Structure 1
Amino acid sequence: MSRRGWSAQERGGLSPFNSGLGDGRGGVPEVTDEDYSYITSEDLERSSHYSRSGGGGGPALVIDDDDILLIKHKGVTYPEHFPAFSIGDGKLLVGDVRERVQMIMKLSDRSTRKIRLLYKGRQLKNDLDPICEFNVKNNSEILVVLPEPSDDDSSSESSEEVVVVGREAESRPKKQKKKKSKGKKSKSRGGSPRESNLEIPSGGGPIDKLNTISSHFTTKLLPLCVQFTASPPTDPKKREDEHRKLSETIMQQVLLKLDEVETNGEEEARARRKELVRTVQDVLNRLDSQVNS
């Protein structure tokens, strides 16, 4: 017996070099028309329909749509793709989103550690948490707040940078800034929500700081929200733009400031902050309903 297989005799005498096919004299086999099958246009059409309908021996190729997060920063939206079902399955972590923000915005490692990720007023803090724990879904919007180089400066300068106050406005005296904002109110729908800045006093306890934030929200931002929900712009683009400005300003000037207040373990301060967050979140939900309706 050969090492590579069976001998010709054991296989019934059939060998590729000694075939019994043909005329029996080892010549070329005779080929006739009956040995061919012809494909008609009808066969081609049937085959095309067969492959489109997904029938046959193999499963049809199905390409799953990616999960998408709309990462927003200063009015710019970045639609970022992630593996399909990674959000709902709990595989996409807060740290993954943070790394993606670093990549698309070309941030240093230090700046990346300081960025704040917000979803509907809630801050996504722990990098090991799946984002689905914050009710983030496919096509959800994630707001990104980046630290500015002036974060170590005074609190008023820092807050001006966060809300993107223009350089011209920063260089003018405060009295002139107030006059300009009054003039703008007569030309627009109650003025821009970013014109009003929030300064939290460095002294005082947590309750005092929370009350300052609450007063700023109630007197400066809430009237603009009420006006928007009562009479939103009819133009879809203007409506979306105004909704974005209001939402981002509330998150930056109210929700983030509430998060920065140290309650020092005071139960009253914790309850007060929780109440304010819930109130602000209700207002944001009403703003969202005007855009989504």
Structure 2
Amino acid sequence: MRRFFGGGAAGQESELSDASKARFTAGLGPDYVVVKHGKKNLRVDFAASGDIASGSAKVGDVRATTARTLGLAKSQITLIYAGRKLKLDSDSLAKLGISSGSNIMCLVSRPQQETKPNGSEENRVPHHSHHHHPHPHAASHEQRELKKELTSFEKIDKIVLEAQKELVPMIEEYVASTPTNDQGNKYRLISELILRRMFALDEVDTHGDPEARKHRKEAINMFHQYQSRVDEALNAAQV
């Protein structure tokens, strides 16, 4: 089964089987999802109409194609749909409620630096009989790098990534086993953390960029979805 990022109709037809071409000509076209990364809307096409509903389209297919197109490792790609992190590559899109035409948010993390074993050539510090004095310009360059301003997109993604690491596990645990006797203390804590991140997103200056505003709105909507999940879990526990 071929999977690729499509553009115009001609590009799609050149990669499809005869059966898929017939579906495309009939106006059905192959199943697809749209991966949204910053200003980019990356369309992932599957081989035929019905691939998603049949369960043959997997999270791993989307992650691998996204990574390949962006020139990154799969481990750097975080996919989010309806406020939920798509963790398992083996999960089918249909199982997660994803249908053809759905939008999936993509966040990119920095690659992990390889650690060298002790005693390796890279970790050995040369011995000098005299003190080494760094060039004054080297320090100022490092300071400039530390103070480098993040773009609006990077600030938004940073807030979302931090939430994925810290907040989402709390939400998943709460939804899986909602306490009925803590008088809403955990609910209030999670709701406050969600609200803080929404405030942080609201404070991101998009500098009038409509794409950045759209990206920020999508991130805020994701936190609204988090809150809805928590609300639904609390209401179900109180029935």
User: What band does the TM-score fall into relative to the shorter chain?
Assistant: 0.3 to 0.5
TM-score normalised by structure 2 residue count: 0.46
TM-score normalised by structure 1 residue count: 0.39
Higher relative contact order (CA 8 A, sep 6+): 2
